[in-house]
Amino acid sequence: MRKDFLPFSPPFLGEEEIAEVVDSLRSGWITTGPKTKRFEQEFAAFVDAPGALALSSCTAALHTALVVAGIGPGDEVITTPMTFTATVAVIEHVGARPVLVDIEPDTMNIDPKLVAAAVTDRTRAVIAVHYGGHPCDMDALQAICDQHDLLLVEDAAHAIPARYKGRMIGSGSNPVAYSFYATKNLTTAEGGMLTGDPAMIEKAAIYSLHGMNRDAWKRNDKTGSWRYDIVTPGAKYNMTDIQASMGLQQLKKMDGILARRREIVEMYRTALAPLEQFDLPVEREDCQSAWHLFPLRLREGALQVSRDEFIEAMRERNIGTSVHFIPVHTFTYYREKYGFVDEDYPIAFRESERLVSLPLHPGLSDQDVADVIEGVKDIG
């Protein structure tokens, strides 16, 4: 039994991030400025993206992508129920209708065959969510979007640095949204990034800062001007230099962060694969997962405890866990508005009922991992 509580996913920060933030505080420039621009450039280079815009959240990135694409009332956007609510909420925010389709049972990513079947003459876009950091079947999804002239948006909240067939997620010209929330592989406390075609990024930059027609942060620079125009009723989605300071240092550590995550995954796999009570997460041969999550699935009837009892038993052993996700179609708002029932998405509902995410972050020691494994085995 552990003496101290093991958090599920605390931020992985060092003295480098602290020093960079302090430098920003002392510089007198704490909101959007030169470090934010540098972070955009370095992030784009890291994922091989044609352009990047730092924003306040992944939600802001997804919403902005839909807005600048002109998606709105009367349109439909296809996505997955196996995601955080923000993915579907942004469709509602632009006045479009979310069309949910079920998932593939191995990766728990959106099923391209069901996407193809769901396309109508009102469909304008598909939002693909890289669940847990494992890439979706992008070739299949892109083929569907090309056939029907649809926008393919990627929710890559979990997917830095993931690769699909050798290509980094985010390297295409389509909109890709990242999250830098405190629990993510790269964190700026709160924050996000939108990557894609430079022309799209330019429009997104205008929308994301009140609809101003120029770089508003330069207004207070020596070379700036107080004059500006509003060309669209935009939002307030900009990232600050304080956040970007953390991101710049986190970005330098990404290779090491992924390597440590993979080491932990292998320890989990080696220890838990022989147990018949559990199904382990997969990694397809043509993909490199970012391993944001290690979603353990409890086999029905193979354990003497329920999923909730399993989570509580781990907590009693001072080990934090989580569940990713409660499917969107089970929430009151979407049930009441669209009449969704559990049986509409049987795979997503079935898998969600047996999911438990184990601790997975680079700050875990080998002993921490051993404690998690011991707890899982003991309860199982």
Residue positions annotated with a catalytic role: 184
Q: Which residues contact 33 (CB under 8 A, 6 or more apart)?
A: 217, 241
**How many whole angstroms separate alpha carbon 167 and alpha carbon 82?**
24
Strand partners, 53: 194
User: What one-character DSSP code corresponds to residue 116?
Assistant: H
Residue 53 tokens, joined? 């815009």
Half-sphere exposure for 98 (CA within 13 Å, toward CB): 27
User: What one-character DSSP code corresponds to residue 84?
Assistant: -
**How many whole angstroms separate alpha carbon 40 and alpha carbon 51?**
8
Closest CA to 236 of 209, 215, 268: 209
Closest CA to 194 of 59, 10, 354, 15: 59
Q: Within the chain, what is the greatest distance between any pair of CA atoms?
A: 69
Closest CA to 103 of 125, 123, 122, 78: 78
**Cis amide linkage into residue 325, ω under 30° from 0:** yes
Helix (H), strand (E) at residue 301 = none
CB neighbours (10 Å) of residue 134?
Answer: 26
Q: Which residues of 278-304 are buried (b: 16+ CB within 10 A; e: fewer)?
A: bbebebeeebbbbbbbbbbbbeeeebe
Residue 117 tokens, joined? 């079947």
**How many whole angstroms separate alpha carbon 108 and alpha carbon 4?**
33
**How many whole angstroms separate alpha carbon 132 and alpha carbon 293?**
5
Helix (H), strand (E) at residue 366 = helix 366-379
Q: In Å, what is the CA distance from 31 to each residue of 116, 201, 288, 338?
A: 43, 20, 35, 40
**How many whole angstroms separate alpha carbon 173 and alpha carbon 115?**
21
